Amino acid sequence: MSITPLTVSDLTTSLRRLGVADGDALMVHASLRAVGPVEHGAAGVVQALDAAVGPLGTIMMTLGARDHGEPFDCDTTPAESEIGVLAEIFRQTPGTLVSDHPEGRFGARGRLARELLTDVPWDDYYGPGSPLERLVLARGRVLRLGADRDTVTLLHYAEYLAEVPTKRRVQRQRIVRGPSGPELRTVTCLDDSNGIVDYPGEDYFARILDAFLDATESPCGLVGGARSELLDAGELVRCATRWMTEHFRAPRE
């Protein structure tokens, strides 16, 4: 039996019912499968997000960069496939700006897009001065539409703020397109792939999200078929920083 797709208007109404407001700066994580069919597909979801925040609002997404054998180019390299189809459609939508970084790569559209993405740090690209910190300073929010519990990119910023004696750091090398052709460049940052410490059991990002939802009255509900949450970015970072500082503290002798 076929399912009638949500209209863009229907999806916009659901986002507003959840609490999205005119002028919001939102970082979005979404599962299109969880949301369900929407007219125009992923492009329709982008249209609904634009409509929900209005002309003074801003939408940001993490994009990553697909390693497809070519030097990284912020204008043409596709979004990382694991992030999902929505990220790539968002990247391609006219008016979306993209940050020039092969690891901490974001797309944004709307009033604050340029402010969020211009002149981002090369090393420690999720730390101070990053688009993540800028989202917090802009009093932004995180909108989760059926996304996995361990996919809250903003928590990487909290990893930089947490008072943890020894944080795992990594160096990566990426080939990027430079003014004279391909260049090999080194990126140094906290380990945002395997975690800043070894922590047993479930991914600690998922645990932090659960703790935050238990401790706050964040708006929650269904958007389409997706269980969704709207989280205050500053509150989330403060909660995550405290959680990591407490749980990653070295045991006392």
Write the pLDDT tens digit of every residue in 118-167.
999 999 999 999 999 999 999 999 999 999 999 999 999 999 999 998 89
Q: Say how far apart CA 116 and CA 107 lie, in whole Å.
A: 9
Q: Is 253 part of a structural domain of the chain?
A: no
pTM, to two decimals? 0.94
Q: Is 194 part of a structural domain of the chain?
A: yes
Q: Is 79 part of a structural domain of the chain?
A: yes
pLDDT given at position 1: 54
pLDDT given at position 176: 93
Q: Is 3 part of a structural domain of the chain?
A: no
Q: Say how far apart CA 230 and CA 18 lie, in whole Å.
A: 7
* Residue-wise pLDDT tens digits, 83-108: 999 999 999 999 999 999 999 999 99
CB 27, CB 60: distance < 8 Å: yes
Give 157-201 as a DSSP string: HHHHHS--S---EEEEEEEEEETTEEEEEEEEEE-TTT-SS---S
Q: Is 215 part of a structural domain of the chain?
A: yes
Q: Is 94 part of a structural domain of the chain?
A: yes
pLDDT given at position 189: 98
Q: Is 2 part of a structural domain of the chain?
A: no
* Residue-wise pLDDT tens digits, 50-67: 999 999 999 999 999 987
CB 205, CB 149: distance < 8 Å: yes
Work out how many domains the chain is built from and give that number. Answer: 1
Q: Is 252 part of a structural domain of the chain?
A: no
pLDDT given at position 249: 78
pLDDT given at position 68: 72
Confidence of residue 70 (pLDDT cuts 50, 70, 90): confident
pLDDT given at position 178: 85
CB 195, CB 168: distance < 8 Å: yes
pLDDT given at position 2: 63
pLDDT > 70: percent of the chain? 98
- If you average pLDDT over every residue of the chain, what do you get? 94
Name the residue with higher pLDDT: 179 or 208.
208
Look at the block and give the residue holding tokens 């992030």: 83
- Whether pLDDT at 228 is above 90: yes
239-251 exposure pattern, b = at least 16 Cβ within 10 A, e = fewer? bbbbbbeeebeee
pLDDT given at position 252: 43
- Whether pLDDT at 251 is above 70: no
* Residue-wise pLDDT tens digits, 184-213: 999 999 999 999 999 988 899 999 999 999
Give the domain range for residue 101: 8-247
Query: Which are the contacts of 14, defined by CB distance < 8 A and separation ≥ 6?
Result: 6, 222, 223, 224
